[in-house]
Structure 1
């Protein structure tokens, strides 16, 4: 019984722990994002293209979690830790109806209370009305 489990694990090992992701995968992701009008900052675009590790961050902590400027300082500290581990931070928000992976934490932090906090179920509605919202 143990050898059957080992054979099964060996057959799916490459799916669980890929040694590399083909660059074509990153290109396809970027093409899809471009087609749907996503705005992706250059560092994150490069990481997607190179299949480098990316950590998605909610923008809610910046806009509704803490007062300015503590919110921006905390977000920058979190990003610094992520970079220290070799990944690329990607803060996600919807700005003026456009899904964004944003690097302008100052803008998000200063204008925090003017953003609408939303849930996943509301995104299509808010994008349709071109509002600025946050992921949750």
Structure 2
């Protein structure tokens, strides 16, 4: 006997998907766990407002009282932004939290899966998860990569955070058949900085070109995500010299304190935030704004070509 889906899709998102209108998926961990209060809520609502101003329906995704939801209401976004009992959910966590009736912010993996389930084809985030440093020994790799390898989406990000192993991440993306294109660049971004020092093979010049690549992929029956690497503007990035110096100290501190496993990335990001006087948070917001805008423009192009 089939089990009914617990997925909730807002009427607005459902109608837009059915009509072929442009929709952009947005994650919730940026405002549940990525930014401090009250800035988190302001950024979340600003993103939705910007998407709407461009003629696109925003589909912010999260889990509310055990209901995975595509198209959170303003009240639901406010609740996730201000509640202390909201957890962070990757894809593997969603069924558990659903059964337990918990509320959660969804990571890239969980957001992407739920977006695809609802028929949303474009998703904007800040930075992707990737392969962790020393993964040769720990096998520590984000669930984002394996999940995106199975979903025919377009995901806009500013690369992976520089606390990760970027060369190994790029190798892993190739292994998983995840195409990567740089938006007006072949320099792979490092989230806080526009150029990580590593190159990618292909650049694209416009949202229309990105939409055309996605159409070609779909026509070939390839079911993996097209990753669009959108670097933060050079005048908004963290100073590269400061970035390198602080990151080196963060890695040394983590090693000295024996920080390992899933605690490593939060430790490093918190260290960078403190040592840059909060500047890294400002860059985080600028990254997100740029990715949200580009994602909305891509969604418009996809809808026009449907």
> 1:122: how far off?
1.9
Q: Considering Cα pairs closer than 8 Å and 6+ residues apart, tell me whether 1 or 2 has the greater RCO.
A: 1
Change (3 A) 1:116 1:109: same
- C-alpha contact 2:24 2:56 (8 A) present in aligned 1: yes
TM-score of the aligned structures, taking structure 2 as reference length: 0.31
> 1:47: how far off?
1.1
SS at match of 1:99: strand
Quote the RMSD (CA, aligned, Å): 1.6
TM-score of the aligned structures, taking structure 1 as reference length: 0.66
> 1:54: how far off?
0.9
SS at match of 1:114: coil
Q: For 1:107, which of 57, 73, 79 is the aligned residue?
A: 79
- What is the distance in 2 between the residues matched to 1:51 and 1:45? 10
- What is the distance in 2 between the residues matched to 1:108 and 1:123? 16
Q: For 2:87, which of 109, 116, 136 is the aligned residue?
A: 116
Q: Alpha-carbon deviations, 1:37-89, whole Å to 9, x = none?
A: 32222321221221211111111111112222211111111112211222111
Q: For 1:133, which of 86, 98, 104 is the aligned residue?
A: 104
- Per the alignment, residue 118 of structure 2 pairs with none
- C-alpha contact 2:80 2:103 (8 A) present in aligned 1: no
Q: Kindly report which structure 2 residues correspond to 1:1-136, keeping only aligned pairs within 5 A, or say none.
A: 35-101=4-70, 102-103=72-73, 104=75, 105-111=77-83, 113-136=84-107
SS at match of 2:96: helix
> 1:91: how far off?
0.9
Unaligned runs of at least 5 residues, structure 1: 1-34
Q: Higher helix share goes to which structure?
A: 1
- C-alpha contact 2:32 2:40 (8 A) present in aligned 1: yes
Q: Alpha-carbon deviations, 1:72-129, whole Å to 9, x = none?
A: 1111111122112221111111111111121122212111x32110211222222122
